Structure 1
């Protein structure tokens, strides 16, 4: 009996595998991939260019244990909080790595298949997935030096004996691009002698060797487990560094893009509603390549947004922000941007390369230091230390201006930043501390010795409930931002793929126009980026004369199409001709 012809899925899979592993039987490897993923080769392909999101999608970024209550697993505490307080504000929860780990607050994973007992268990994760889309981290570039895999590597047994990337210490590795100042190679004594393993990030984070197809198969099994537990959005952590070739930069290599296309193929055939997001903290033009031809990442992080937006708000000049936004291509249907202005890491500076001058970058760094921030560096291929990221809480980052220092406009500036992020093309994502206006945690920095801890505060639930229920800036921030999220979620013009055009209104006013996919709703977003009142005439917006125009923020109706509008410091308007109604949960 003749073997059946390979299915369309198998043929596509074989094509990817032949590119990655030319010396391996790609057909047999494809069958192993499908078996490891428990995927029927005759599974129907998902419809391309489908938007698996709409304007109601807003993400929360949080660690599993950011909220802690007495005698309760932190994941259970988090689940109760998001369901009771954020059901009308968010649709998705990004759980930062919640696995057993040895360092880097979770990103040095010891076991990809279990939940850190200190945070809870898989049932807690699945419980959150009942009410929200859950994004999980696939820490795919490296794992912990204390993992079973690395112990097996040192002992020369499987699984793990060939899982890690080894390099010749005498090879020319001067071109390698990486985000740290530590030595690239770590010397390790193994059963088979002395080895030098590749460590892009730290000597506790050993880079995996995807030249070995067994590593790919292992991760397919891990992804399948996550899908079974309810995870549908996948953040590919540090994926730009995945493939290494000595003598090259070992970043953004063609094989890395091929791996992403392969993972996308497998994941979306199992779950057509699944989403892949690439975490690539690199210059803007390089970042854009991770869309591929709408066959790699569904979403890419808008890494240039945080530094450019913060720079605009502290200098009062939005020229660079506007120029950058004008250069951003509209995402194809079925792809979009993930917009954020704060995260568990710092404000990345590599995405400002080619966008801010050295003097402007230095001014931004000095301003953030003035507001209590710290500076982390990386090593260039020439061996020089170069600024890599600013570590600071968003609340402190927006506490004043570069010219005057701290001032009375901190809250208005903070809310303005949130208003910009929520109105732009793409899906907005709030780091949990941005919902509360959490300050710099300098005590945590002292305790851990790591600058990133400044924005990784742990909230005791009694303390959090107290500040949210009393007249504090935490309460004001939480109430104001959740109100804005509810307004945003009702507007079809804020669909992640709705049309967007930048408006030219000078260097002090940042403005753009959005139009819903059905062209029924137009929305003009205009922001005062300065600490002084600014004025503009409605005639500059070309409002349709036959429509009624309302500001969604204040609910003020503008009947005079030629009238003058005054915006107070950091005030903004969302002017629309068609108010959307929020769907109640």
Structure 2
């Protein structure tokens, strides 16, 4: 509790009253006293995350969480032991990330009983949308109505304020005009959209209310908590307003709270930024996030497959520092968002990034842009399913499946905890009609389904969905049986061929050689002579010092 008190004093420069501090501490103590279960401590090779929406599947008039739970029990429970439920709260836009009420479940999905029921058979990850709230929320409505309680919950500035130093992740205006009930116009800080109003954590009551939200999630069974858009939480005009020191102090505060109330709970920071900025959210390895998103991995794997060249991916992986015993990476290839390009900057020349964007756009991908400080714009995200990102529209499904499984074999072998998006395990293609109906690019990879549609496709063994589901499920099962794939197990990158990404995981009798041919050509690579077992296929392989990898072949080899 001394750590929590110290952080509060640092964040608010010792200006909090004793009464306020006592109230905050009391809330935390009550939450701790009511805690009635323990979270798993740490992580291991068996941990694989499924990323999904609570309303991903529908069926007649049933609540969608009930439909999902049934599907999970029948199809997914033996594959994934952690489910990341994307925001399942009442919302007004962005498929859940414009939250109207943090403490309620969207009635379409169900209620907290449905969340707890799902949590009886899997560990749960919740989104803590801590940077912004919906323009349709009661907080913001009361702010516009002039309720003095909410006067400082949001940031209103003169429209002529110089904000050119502020980092912009979008092309939309940073300040959005809103008319109050008294007729006054307020220009309110909106980092991501006019419907996503940034919270003002400089006002202590905002922290107090958001603490209640965090404690609610812990009480309802969240063992993983994802801090959405966390880098933007603290604003100071005249600065970049991203990754500011007090943002890191807020993350430290959240960490201290969950450590005290619910030991074992994992905080994951979502910061789609260059790698060095991203890993700063580990803090000293014990005091901030236990996990950070491995944002460079999706675009680097994509670039490697498109170019048939492993050089950049190999160089980046070889330069990764080992995590502390108490931290690791949250690895993924696809998610509800697009494939971020900012993490590539500094790793690839801008000309190569733009060439990749152009090639994907010609094959049906959509591109989202951001504003730069000099007035120019740059692509920051490719909106596409990972399946369609890896292949051309006229490719045969056999090749499409090869590339897709190659990419996921890298994901599952890489150091960290792997996460697979629901559209990936279902083998989904671009939902162009959905993007047109929704009017925004990200909808191309956010398709929702009637459950009978998916079950029918999975029952047809020759369908792409069924083939992907079978192959990826089998590969995940193989992964979870290998101690060498423990998130903290060491990795040694092997620079063996410009077309092959290769590394070793583990040590001694647990050592596994992981080789991935990123090209469409047969490629020979050197390997220590000996008798190996090909883990995914469970077949022996004898090597006399060299093996040949077929196009897009991957192998995990152990002695």
Question: TM (normalized to structure 1)?
Answer: 0.91
Using the TM superposition, give the Cα deviation of residue 42 of structure 1 relative to its aligned residue in structure 2, in angstroms. Answer: 10
Counterpart for residue 552 of structure 1: 535
Residues 373-388 of structure 1 aligned to structure 2 (within 5 Å): 373-388=365-380
Aligned match for 1:566, one of 536, 540, 548 = 548
How many angstroms apart in 2 are the aligned matches of 1:40 and 1:92? 24
Aligned pairs, number:
552
Where 1:333 maps in the other structure, the secondary structure is coil
Counterpart CA distance in 2 for 1:410 and 1:228 is 43
Q: Distance in 2 between matches of 1:486 and 1:332?
A: 27
Report 1:153-302 matches (<5 A): 153-157=143-147, 159-190=149-180, 193-294=184-285, 295-302=287-294
Distance between the aligned counterparts of 1:340 and 1:242, measured in 2?
Answer: 24
Deviation at 1:23, TM superposition (A): 4.9
1:534 corresponding residue in structure 2: 523
User: Quick check: 415-424 or 318-327, which moved more?
Assistant: 318-327
Structure-2 separation of matches of 1:367 and 1:438: 20
How far apart are the structure 2 equivalents of 1:537 and 1:501? 16
Aligned to 1:366: 358
Match of 1:493 in 2: 484
Q: CA deviation at 1:51?
A: 6.0
8 A contact 2:496–2:526 mirrored in 1: no
Aligned to 1:20: 11
Residue of structure 2 equivalent to 1:4: none
Work out whether 1:331 is the aligned partner of 2:320. no
Tell me the C-alpha RMSD between the 2 structures: 2.0
Q: Distance in 2 between matches of 1:208 and 1:330?
A: 35
1:15-57: CA deviation from partner (whole Å, max 9, x where unpaired): 111111115236544322222234489999xxxxx96110000
**Equivalence map 1:305-454=2 (5 Å):** 305-400=297-392, 406=395, 409-454=399-444
- The partner residue of 2:93 within 103, 118, 121 is 103
Indicate if the aligned counterparts of 1:409 and 1:531 stay in contact, CA closer than 8 A: no
| CA pair 512-149 structure 1, distance change in 2 beyond 3 A | same
Report the counterpart of residue 580 of structure 1 in structure 2: none
Structure-2 separation of matches of 1:422 and 1:51: 21
Aligned-residue offset at 1:410: 1.1
Task: Give secondary structure in 2 for the equivalent of 1:504.
Answer: strand
Aligned partner of residue 505 in structure 1, secondary structure: strand
Q: Secondary structure at the match of 1:480?
A: helix
1:142 aligned to which of 129, 132, 136: 132
Structure 1 CA distance for aligned equivalents of residues 28 and 212 of structure 2: 6
Distance in 1, Cα, partners of 2:527 & 2:509: 20
Partner secondary structure for residue 514 of structure 2 = strand
Retained in 2: the 8 A contact 1:290–1:300?
yes
Supply the distance in 2 between the matched residues of 1:201 and 1:77 (Cα, whole angstroms): 32
CA shift, 1:556, in A, is 2.4
> Once the two structures are superposed, what CA deviation does each residue of 1:269-321 show, in whole Å capped at 9, x if it has no partner?
11112010000011111111111112111100000010010110111011111
How far apart are 1:191 and its partner, in Å?
A: 5.5
SS of 2:226's partner is: strand
CA contact (8 A) 1:51 1:335 kept: no
SS of structure 1 residue aligned to 2:150: coil
Cα distance, 1:195 vs. partner? 2.2
Q: How much has 1:101 moved relative to structure 2?
A: 0.7
> What's the CA shift for 1:563?
4.2
Instruction: Please give the per-residue CA displacement for 1:461-484, whole angstroms capped at 9, x wherever unaligned.
Output: 111011101020110000000001
For residues 20 and 266 of structure 2, the distance between their equivalents in structure 1, rounded to whole angstroms, comes to 24
Contact 1:314 1:400 in 2 (8 A): no
Specify every segment of 5 or more residues in structure 2 that has no aligned partner in the other structure, as ranges: none
For structure 1, list consecutive stretches of 5 or more residues without a partner in the other structure.
1-8, 45-49, 578-585
